[in-house]
Amino acid sequence: MPAPTAIVLLSGGLDSAVTLALAREMRFETYALSFNYGQRHAIELESAKAVAAALGALRHVIVPIDLRCFGGSALTSDLPVPKDRLPEEMNEGIPITYVPARNTIFLSFALALAEVTLANDIFIGVNVLDYSGYPDCRPEYIKAFTAMANLATKAAVSGNARTTIHAPLIQMTKAQIIQKGLDLGVDFSLTSSCYDPAEDGAACGRCDSCTLRLKGFRELGREDMRRYVAR
């Protein structure tokens, strides 16, 4: 019997890399799924490609999402990236890479790819502790999406399959996620979570995402092998 197939949402960041590693550890063949939704993400997508290859994904699918049709004010990509904020200051305002109804759109495409590839399992690296401001990262949201998904497709309705949404990081701290990744041999130098990387791809080290990531490594007493702008 061939290994079961899973769809893994892969952003190129640290959390989703660990999520993919966990899916692989569970012996799933994986379709990594990323989205191209704006100009800041070229480096993220390159990171996602490298992570998908390093962790042995069967295929890496990149879906273009163009929300410019929603109008200029909807997507805030021209705002300056906040720097040097403390973790407790971060849940203020709309993040720079704002996509409305983000996880709902991402999971919907994952469900579509699952339908096409006959996969019953979807992995998403959401996490409640570090980002309490996002309602679509909570367990009750994941549960409701699962209930909807199991009414949405023919396979689910025929009783031949049930879609399971795995959110294995949901209750973990950043340090715990990093530790799990290290245990599984994830090469974090390939991952990129920076909201404002330099031209050459180096992470800024000062945006919210870099701050949380560096704090996680510091708590573990480990070095982040990601390349940063000289500090």
Instruction: Give residues in contact with a copy of itself (CB under 8 A).
Output: 61-64, 66-67, 69-71, 74, 99-105, 107-109, 111-116, 133, 135-136, 138, 140-141, 144-145, 147-149, 151-154, 156-157
What is the distance of C-alpha 206 from the center of its chain? Answer: 20
In terms of DSSP H, where are the helices of 68-138?
A: 102-117
DSSP 120: -
Query: Which of 142/186 has CB closer to a copy of itself?
Result: 142
Compute, in degrees rounded to 10, the torsion defined by CA atoms 210, 215, 217, 218.
140
- Tell me how far, at minimum, the Cβ of 123 lies from a copy of itself, in Å: 17
Q: Say how many CA atoms lie within 13 Å of 11 toward its Cβ.
A: 21
Taking a C-beta distance cutoff of 8 angstroms, is the pair 176, 215 a contact?
no
- Tell me how far, at minimum, the Cβ of 204 lies from a copy of itself, in Å: 26
Query: Which of 107/210 has CB closer to a copy of itself?
Result: 107
- Tell me how far, at minimum, the Cβ of 85 lies from a copy of itself, in Å: 19
Secondary structure of residue 119 in the 3-state scheme:
coil
- Tell me how far, at minimum, the Cβ of 113 lies from a copy of itself, in Å: 6
Query: Which of 140/200 has CB closer to a copy of itself?
Result: 140
Query: Which of 113/207 has CB closer to a copy of itself?
Result: 113
- Tell me how far, at minimum, the Cβ of 25 lies from a copy of itself, in Å: 26
DSSP 126: -
